[in-house]
Amino acid sequence: MKRIEIRTTERDEFVDITPLVREEVRRAGAEDGLCLVYCPHTTAGLTINEHADPAVAADILAALDRLIPGDGPWTHLEGNSPAHVKASLLGASVQIPIVDGDLALGTWQGVFLCEFDGPRTRTVWLRFLA
């Protein structure tokens, strides 16, 4: 299984991993099928959204912060419950078609690692199915 390592620098941050995922798909020589991008963390997630204008990612992060304010109340004692909630709202994986050996994304789409409890070193797993 392929692994991608990502160093995040903020508490909440979207990191565009599209070029890294695309490179692994090409390197794997997968012709047609599906790419599973999997996040093995519980305070980070994955999403697909516009990556042309970085303001879109910033707006999604700000909206999530308004939805899940830090003051809770929370029972989990580590203080990062909002990060767990955001991770479940966005999800732990994305699935993308592979066509002719390349990721088949829409024109404006990119793949983001969604950090909600950084900064940390995160890993993303890749799985190709024909």
- Residues in contact with a second copy by CB under 8 A are 1, 32-34, 36, 38-42, 47-50, 53, 55-56, 58-60, 62-64, 67-68, 72-78, 81-82, 84-85, 87-97, 99, 104-109, 125, 127, 129-130
Write the CA distances from 125 to 20, 46, 68, integer angstroms.
Answer: 11, 11, 27
Q: CB neighbours (10 Å) of residue 113?
A: 25
| Distance, CA of 124 to CA of 130 (rounded, Å) | 20
Q: Number of C-alpha atoms within 13 angstroms, CB side, residue 114?
A: 33
**Are 42 and 87 spatial neighbours (Cβ–Cβ below 8 Å)?**
yes
Q: Which is nearer to a second copy, 26 or 52 (CB)?
A: 52
Given the complex with a second copy, which of 20 and 112 has the nearer CB atom? 112
Name the residue nearer to a second copy (CB basis): 2 or 11: 2
Q: How far is the CB of 23 from a second copy (least distance, A)?
A: 19
From start to end of 12-92, where are the E strands? 13-16, 33-38, 44-50
At 85, which amino acid appears?
V
In the complex, what is the shortest distance from the CB of residue 76 to a second copy, in angstroms, rounded to a whole number? 4
**Shortest separation between residue 117's beta carbon and a second copy, angstroms:** 11
Rounded to a whole number of angstroms, the minimum distance from the CB of residue 34 to a second copy is 6
**Cβ proximity to a second copy, 20 vs 116, nearer residue:** 116
Unique residue bearing structure tokens 């991993």: 17
